[in-house]
Structure 1
Amino acid sequence: MDSALFVRPADYADAVDAAAIVMLLDAYASDPAGGGEPLSTYTKEHLVASLAARPQAFSILAIDGQTPVGLVNCIEGFSTFKCKPLINVHDVAVLASHRGRGIAALMLAEAERIGRARGAVKMTLEVLSGNAPAMKLYRRIGYEGYQLDPSMGTAQFMQKWL
């Protein structure tokens, strides 16, 4: 790991951090793992203000020297079974030039630290089954498929556009 690399919570009110969030999320969205399409103009213009308006949202930035190279966006949810908060890791993005250097693991450790400080009982995330490097990382740092009773199988992530 480079000594110039560090991770920290993003400040939604800071213009430099805001620009970094949009740039990194746009790079992720444009990547095949993120859907292969850049963010819309609307999203680029409103994303950071919309995150800032939600006290349950927080983001982690990875910075290499002065260059933003990684982003994790998290949204606090709620576990009804445990009656405590949970943290959903909504986006994990590392620029292609910096992948394979442990940056995602560092950002997720920072997200976990914040989650624990918020009293969260667990972290959740979604990952595409074909994203082998991400799957390997998530398993290595303790994530596993979600199930309640093994005879019922593992949970499947589904969506319905509104």
Structure 2
Amino acid sequence: MLVALDGASVVGSVMAGYEGHRGWISRIAVLASHRGRGVGRDLLAEAEHRLAALGCVKVNLQVVESNAATVSFYERSGYSIEPRISMSKLLRR
């Protein structure tokens, strides 16, 4: 988990992990007031750098298909859409 600060305020965060096979970006968020300033780009780059230092060679992530702005953000950061089937199971109803 990495955070971006503006003074004493948290303005962004990224959660990433590596399980020995591939890395995952689980969540990235930037306050609306700080979007477009490179905060997300810098957080993502640092997470990728740290994953690579652990021996990670590929990073995966998932985005809700309707979230075009986030898809665009990741594409500008070098990510591409792969044909995959995403499956889930609700454990509580």
TM class, shorter-chain normalised?
0.7 to 0.9
**CA displacement at 1:156 relative to structure 2:** 2.5
**87, 90, 95: which one aligns with 2:31:** 95
- Higher Cα Rg: structure 1 or 2? 1
Q: Tell me, yes or no, if structure 1 residue 156 matches structure 2 residue 85.
A: yes
- Number of corresponding residues: 91
TM-score, normalization by structure 1 = 0.53
How large is the Cα RMSD of the aligned pairs? 1.3
> SS in structure 2 opposite 1:75?
strand
Matched-pair identity in %: 40
**Structure with the higher fraction of residues in helix conformation:** 1
Residue-by-residue CA offset, 1:19-55 (whole Å, 9 max, x unaligned): xxxxxxxxxxxxxxxxxxxxxxxxxxxxxxxxxxxxx
Alignment-derived partner of residue 74 in structure 1: 16
Moved beyond 2 Å, runs of 4+: none
TM-score, normalization by structure 2 = 0.88
Alignment-derived partner of residue 65 in structure 1: 7
> SS in structure 2 opposite 1:73?
strand
Residue-by-residue CA offset, 1:47-106 (whole Å, 9 max, x unaligned): xxxxxxxxxxxx111111221010101121243xxxxxx210001111122122221111
The code of the aligned residue for 2:69 comes to P
> SS in structure 1 opposite 2:19?
strand
Structure scoring higher RCO (CA < 8 A, sep ≥ 6) equals 2
* Structure 2 contact 17–51 (Cα < 8 Å) conserved: no
